[in-house]
Amino acid sequence: MKQRLITGTILVLVLGLLIYFGEGEFELLFSGFCVLLSGFAAYEFTQMSRLGQSFRWFDILTIVLTLAFSVMSVLSFDILMVYYIYIFRFLLMLILLDAILFVAVKDFTRQEFGNQLLTIFYTSLGFIAFAYLRKLDINLIIYLLLVAMITDVFAYLIGIKFGKHRLAVNISPKKSVEGAIAGLVFGSIVATLYAFYMGVFEFGFIGILGLSLALSMIAQVGDLIASKFKREAGIKDYSNLFPGHGGVLDRFDSSMFAAIFLMLAVIILL
C-alpha cells in the first residue's frame, strides 16, 4: 500500500505538471507524453498477446504503427477536416498492409491480423483523445480525470467496505455493484460541480450531470474490458512500469475509454 501511495503521488504530480505546462510556450509537451504512453501501452498489449513468447518482427511493426498513428493525430488537430482525411488514409494503408502481410507471411495468421488492428486502435485512441482535450481546454482534461479517478477511488473504497453483490465475478471478482454505484454517484457529482463552476460547457447543470454519468459508466466499462483481457491472458498486471499500480494500461484503462467518448461529444457539440 505504501509503494502504491508513493507511486500514485509521483504520478499525479508529474501528470499535473505536464497538463499545466503542456501547451503554450511548451506546446506539444503533453501531446508528446500521450504519444509516449500510447507506445508503452502498445508494447504492454502486444506482450500480453504473446503470452510469454518472443516478439516477432510484425509485433514491432504494430508498436511502430501505433506510434505513427498517435503522432499523425496530435500534429493534425488544428484542422479537423485534415485530421479526418489523415485517419481515412491511415485506415486504408493499414488494411492494405495487413492484407499483404496476411497473404505473404505464413506466421501472420487471421488471429495476428485481428490482434494488430485491435492493438493499434485500443492503445492509441484514448491517448489521442487526452491530447485533443488538453489542446482545446485544460479544464476539459481535468474534468475527464476527475470523473475517471473519483469513480475509480470510490468504487474501490465502498466496494471493499460494503460490497456484497459481485458486479462481474468472471472478469474481476473484487468489483461489486455497491462500489460501481458509489463510483458513479461520487465521480459524476464531483466532476459536474467542477465543470459547472468552471464554465467548461455552455449547457446547464442537468446536461453536465448527464454527460458526467455517461462518462463514469463508460470509465467503469473500460476498466472491465482491460480486466477481461488480463484474465483471458492469465496475468495480474500489464507491466510493472508504475510500481504498485501496474502498467500504462492498468493505470489509464478507465480514463482512456471515457476520453474517447468525451472527445466525440465535444466534436459533435462544436
Q: Note the pTM of the prediction, 2 decimals.
A: 0.90
pLDDT tens by residue, 21-52: 876 666 678 999 999 999 999 999 999 888 76
Per the CB < 8 A criterion, the answer to whether 253 and 261 are in contact is no
* pLDDT score of 81: 60
* pLDDT score of 24: 63
* pLDDT score of 1: 59
* pLDDT score of 210: 94
In 3D space, the residue among 162, 19, 8, 137 whose CA is nearest the CA of residue 77 turns out to be: 137
User: pLDDT below 50 — which residues of the chain?
Assistant: none
Residue 264 burial (10 A CB sphere; 0-12, 13-18, 19+): exposed
> How many Cβ atoms from other residues are within 10 Å of residue 121's Cβ?
16
Enumerate the domain spans of the chain: 2-269
Cell numbers representing residue 14 in the block: 508529474
For the chain, list the strands marked E by DSSP: 166-168, 172-176
Three-state DSSP state, 174: strand
* pLDDT score of 2: 65
* pLDDT score of 270: 64
